Amino acid sequence: MQDLMKTDKAANLLADRLTARGVDQWASWLRNNRNHAHRTTYRIPTEKIGREVFYQRGELDKFIAFEASRTVGEFQLSSRAAEALHAMGIGNPGATSQGRKFESGHANGAVAPDGTTFVQVALSSPLAVYRLTPQQAIDLGKDLTDTGQHLLSQASGNLKPATYEVVSDNAYMKISRKVEVKQ
């Protein structure tokens, strides 16, 4: 039980390691963070024993590392910018500035209790589950197929001109988007 900490001890640890806030501010932040009605970029898991809430030291250390990764020099990234970095996987093993490596995923057809059908897409790393309408699934599948075919054509030198335009091209990545071709 020694690696479990009550909110006050966890707040002290955070204030010692992340000095932008004091103990009282971190205690308040921790209470708000465990309230799932509040949207947050990073939710620290808790364990409830009786009426008491505890934090694992390892989970607090992960949060401290995450908060440190949001700081660039003396500049603190906004929650939205940090969320984008997290979504791309920047700072995680195997991820680059172009995004995470796709591990695996699958799609299942499902029926909601109200009788509507939907496609459930589950990704394994990081674990995420999405609900798409059948039309969204068709559109996403078509977009993925078109993009994959375009890149294969480009690699083989058979690229059809004017089907894609470059949106961003810098030292780190080149982003293209599909454009409608009027015949």
Residues 154 and 109 grouped into a single domain: no
Q: Which pLDDT band holds residue 14 (cuts at 50, 70, 90)?
A: very high
Q: Note whether residue 83 is domain-resident.
A: no
Domain of 149, in residue numbers = 133-183
Give the list of residues 6+ apart from residue 180 with CB closer than 8 angstroms, or none: none
Average pLDDT over residues 128-134: 88
Q: Which pLDDT band holds residue 164 (cuts at 50, 70, 90)?
A: low
Q: Which pLDDT band holds residue 8 (cuts at 50, 70, 90)?
A: very high
Q: Is 120 exposed, middle or buried (CB count within 10 Å of its CB: 0-12, 13-18, 19+)?
A: middle
**Chain-centre distance of CA 151, in angstroms?**
25
**pLDDT above 80 (res 95):** no
Q: Note whether residue 45 is domain-resident.
A: yes
Instruction: State residue 74's pLDDT score.
Output: 59
Which of 130, 147, 175 is the last residue before a domain boundary? 130
**pLDDT above 90 (res 140):** no
CA dist., res. 173 & res. 96, Å (int): 11
Cα torsion 86, 91, 95, 98: sign:
positive
**Neighbour-count burial for 25-34, b at 16+ CB within 10 Å, e otherwise:** ebbeebeebb
Which residue would you say has higher pLDDT here, 98 or 135?
Answer: 135
Instruction: State residue 53's pLDDT score.
Output: 93
Residues 65 and 25 grouped into a single domain: yes
Residues 126 and 141 grouped into a single domain: no
Residues 51 and 14 grouped into a single domain: yes
Q: Note whether residue 92 is domain-resident.
A: no
Q: Note whether residue 145 is domain-resident.
A: yes
Q: Which pLDDT band holds residue 129 (cuts at 50, 70, 90)?
A: confident
Q: Note whether residue 96 is domain-resident.
A: no
Contact yes or no for 180/163 (Cβ under 8 A): no
Q: Which pLDDT band holds residue 10 (cuts at 50, 70, 90)?
A: very high
Residues 174 and 121 grouped into a single domain: no
**pLDDT above 90 (res 2):** no
| DSSP E strands, 78-170 | 105-111, 117-124, 127-132, 164-169
| Summary mean pLDDT of the chain | 80
Structural domains in the chain (count): 3
Average pLDDT over residues 75-85: 68
CA dist., res. 178 & res. 163, Å (int): 6
Average pLDDT over residues 51-76: 82
Instruction: State residue 20's pLDDT score.
Output: 82
